[in-house]
Amino acid sequence: MGGFVGRPRKYLEKGQRFLLWRGYATKLKLIYQIKFSKMLLEFFATENENKLREVNEILGFELRQISVSLEEIQALKVEEVVHKKAEEAFKKTGKVVLVEDTGLEIVKWNGLPGALIKWFLATVGPEGILKMLSQERDRRAIAKTAVGFFDGKRAYIFVGEVAGTITKGVKGKSGFGWDPIFVPVGHKKSFAQMSASEKNAVSMRRLALEKMKKKVGQDFLER
């Protein structure tokens, strides 16, 4: 027993040093992964010129559009859709490609249509959605955008969301998709009535992209 006196503190100090070293090593590994991927995030997989313009305006530099056929899985959550698309984009192109998906969750419909909004728009359009909500007083909705990429080892997914309401009529002619029927909280204009700079200042896409910049580091995205 006598030979054990004093050892607990010594072992504790070693344990603390080990934990600090492990934490430092983990941080270095993450920095290495980010730096290794830095020059590769140059592409955005989209066929939508408006989305490309909006993303580039928010990022402050030009991502190049890349054409790649990606599976649109049937899911309500935009995070799930983006995760699948990010992995598939990497496998098909061999590049780190930014992908994006946007959904509209209507509170009264328990989150529908969510990421399925594109099929709602393709079949009934914004006017059809308004018609289906014509008898509803609760017109609350949440607009969500997920952005992300896959670096060959893991997927980085970031989500931005904006609460708002569904209008009773189509408002505005700019924007795209369901912009004419969504008014964000604290505003009187629909997304389609806002200028590009006004919309970018409050959009869920900006929030998602800002989360991405904060997580991976502004230096990773600079050109």
Catalytic site residues?
A: 101
The closest of 222, 223, 215 to 33, measured between CA atoms, is: 215
With beta carbons less than 8 A apart as the criterion, state whether 181 and 198 touch. Answer: no
Residue 220 exposed, middle or buried by CB count within 10 Å (0-12, 13-18, 19+): middle
With beta carbons less than 8 A apart as the criterion, state whether 212 and 158 touch. Answer: yes
The closest of 221, 162, 165, 154 to 190, measured between CA atoms, is: 165
Residue 152 exposed, middle or buried by CB count within 10 Å (0-12, 13-18, 19+): middle
Q: Which helix (H) or strand (E) holds 123?
A: helix 117-123
CB atoms within 10 A of CB 32: 10
